[in-house]
Amino acid sequence: MQVKVLIFGQLTDITGVSELQLNDVSDRDELITALNRQYPGLADSKYAIAVNKQVINENIGLTDNSTVALLPPFSGG
Amino acid sequence: MSDRKPKNIFITGPISPSFIAESIQKHSTQKAIGGHSIFLGQVRADETEGGVVSAIEYTAFEELAMDNMHVIREDIFAKYPLTCMHVYHSLGSIAAGEICLFVFTSSAHRKAAMDACEETVERLKAELPVWGKEIIAGATHQWKVNK
């Protein structure tokens, strides 16, 4: 199982990429753990998580081909 | 819900004054309109600890931004008797002094256009997944923070 992770804004300074694939993460909490292991700087960053364009506020299951977006505070306009 | 579809609000590069002028001109045939309200966002040369901001580089989660803008548009049309609304936001590098946001509302009487314009600007700054990377003259950068 594979999920696509889209990274935006200042978080790309930490990851160096704007998109990556993660294998074998079955829910949001596992995804966060995997991301923090790969990019320790993310653990100290503030961001919201959207799964398939829906912002989520609790742990939910991820399915194959889910698209997860990491959204730091917006600063448009 | 109306049948309005999500529109692409993004323009690559700055929003030119001629584009704004043409947009105003296009409304001359709509004679039920009695008032327009326009907000223009301009990139400010902020003086920061690291130096002066020379440009802002905008990126967005475009698909989600258009979905969220659609919701804002529907809400504003439900709340105010508007004739029309147009919103454009720049992507890419916009130099200090250039226009990066254009919000244009029109109504029969001024109050609706003015209130709707203000509310749309406030909501889109808070709700659209857009990010501004402030480029400091001399090659470093920092990320814009909305207040």
* Complex confidence, ipTM: 0.95
Q: How far is B31 from chain A (nearest CA, A)?
A: 30
Structural domain contains residue A28:
yes
The reply to whether A76 falls in a domain is: no
- Secondary structure (3-state) at B105: strand
- Residue B6 sits at φ, ψ, to 5 deg, of -55, 130
B133 and B57 Cβ atoms separated by less than 8 Å = yes
Q: How confident is the model at residue B147 (pLDDT cuts 50, 70, 90)?
A: confident
CB atoms within 10 A of CB B51: 16
Query: What whole-number distance in Å separates Cα of residue B82 and Cα of residue B86?
Result: 11
Find the mean pLDDT for residues B83-92. 98
With CB atoms and an 8 Å threshold, state whether A77 touches B60. Answer: no
Question: From the CA of B39, how many Å to the nearest CA of chain A?
Answer: 11
Class of CATH domain B10-143 = alpha beta
Alpha-carbon distances of A40 from A11, A25, B18, rounded to whole Å:
11, 17, 47
* Structural domain boundaries, residue A27: 2-71
- Flag whether A22 is in a domain: yes
Does residue B146 sit in helix, strand or coil? coil
Amino acid, res. B20: I
Neighbours of A7 (CB within 10 A): 24
Count how many residues are written for chain B: 147
- Please check whether residue B10 is in contact with residue B89, taking contact to mean a CB–CB distance below 8 angstroms: yes
Residue numbers of A between 18 and 77 with CB closer than 8 Å to B: 50, 53, 69, 71-77
Which B residues 85-104 touch A at CB under 8 Å?
A: 89, 100-101
**Is the residue at A37 inside a domain?**
yes
Task: Count up the domains in chain A and report the number.
Answer: 1
Q: Poorest-confidence range of A28-37, A55-64, B137-146?
A: B137-146
The structural domains of chain B, with segments of one domain joined by +, span 10-143
Question: Left if phi > 0, otherwise alpha if psi is -120 to 50, otherwise beta: which for B51?
Answer: left
Confidence at B2, pLDDT banded by 50, 70, 90: low
What's the CATH number where A37 sits? 3.10.20.30
Is pLDDT above 50 for B94? yes
The conformation of residue B4, written as its DSSP 8-state character, comes to P
Q: Summarize pLDDT for B9-60 with one digit per residue, the tens.
A: 999 999 999 999 999 999 999 999 999 999 999 999 999 888 999 999 999 9
Indicate whether A77 belongs to any domain: no
Name every chain B residue with its beta carbon within 8 A of the beta carbon of A69: 61, 64, 129
